Amino acid sequence: MIMALLTPEDLENLEKQLEMSNETVKRVTGSDLKEICESLYGTELGSQTVGIIPITAGNGVISNFTSSLLYIVEYLGLKGFISEHPDVTGYYEAVSAGADIIMMADDHIFTAHNLRNEKIISNHVATGVIYAEIASKFKEANSKDILVIGLGRVGFAGACHLVNNGFNVYACDPNKEFLEKAVNELGIKTYCGDDRKKFSMVFEATPNADTITEGMIEERCLVSTPGIPCGLPPEIGKKYRVDLVMEPLVIGVASMLHSII
């Protein structure tokens, strides 16, 4: 399974990226990130404390990762701390220090676990759901048709969310098994370029660049994507005056926390 790992560069200027994406989210959906999360999950973040644990497994600690998480946790109004030690020692430390929620990531799973109510979530699912939700709330959409590009763990979770909310989901993925699974389990339609169908709402979830082509999109459409690198080529974005919601970490983390509160 391919997964793009974050780099320290992705997490630079998180504050600026957050501000810009929140502004776009508000403009294209009418609600800001906090409002979307609260109505999506019916929860409001309270006074929980989040213990963030650096993990050295696999490719090891990503500089800026845990400090970015702490920044986000505090931005969302929660208390947080990073354990002094990594891994199991850090876990013991965080739980002993009274953390209500534990956040940690290795190269495969990034999880948040609420120790008080036993809810647990992966970043894949929370990210898929929130980016799909944002795409589906496009104010200017002229139908309930929505295109999902990529049916990996993030894309599948988002597609599932959209189907459950009554959208007509069209999807593509070069992986035939992923596509078949989504057709069989979710009842989505496959999208192929020959369809000549264009979308005003696009949820892109691939680790690849340039997955969005001119044939797929309406002018002034919305592309919502957590995928790094961005699937929308800048020249197409410009030509079609596309609104783009893309941000490396905050939106997914906000979704994770709201989903387990």
CA distance 178 to 161: 16
Angle between the N-to-C axes of helices 250-260 and 33-41, in degrees from 0 to 180, rounded to the nearest 10: 30
Residue 148 parent element (H or E): strand 145-149
Applying CB under 6 A, the span of 3-11, 72-80, 139-147, 189-197 interacting with ligand 2YG comes to 3-11
The reply on whether position 51 binds ligand 2YG by CB under 6 A is no
In angstroms, give the least distance from the CB of 33 to ligand 2YG.
14
Amino acid at 163: V
The reply on whether position 128 binds ligand 2YG by CB under 6 A is no
CA distance 73 to 94: 15
Torsion of CA 175, 181, 182, 188, to 10 degrees: 110
In angstroms, give the least distance from the CB of 21 to ligand 2YG.
13
In angstroms, give the least distance from the CB of 86 to ligand 2YG.
7
The reply on whether position 65 binds ligand 2YG by CB under 6 A is yes
Beta bridge partners of 170: 147, 189
17, 48, 66, 225: which one binds ligand 2YG (CB under 6 A)? 66
The reply on whether position 206 binds ligand 2YG by CB under 6 A is no
- 78 vs 256, which CB is nearer to ligand 2YG? 256
Q: Please state whether beta strands 110-114 and 120-122 pair in parallel, antiparallel, or not at all (unpaired).
A: antiparallel
State whether residue 218 is helix, strand or coil. Answer: strand
The reply on whether position 206 binds Mg ion by CB under 5 A is yes
- Contacting residues toward ligand 2YG, per CB under 6 A: 3, 5-6, 54-55, 61-62, 65-66, 105-107, 110, 123, 127, 226, 249, 252
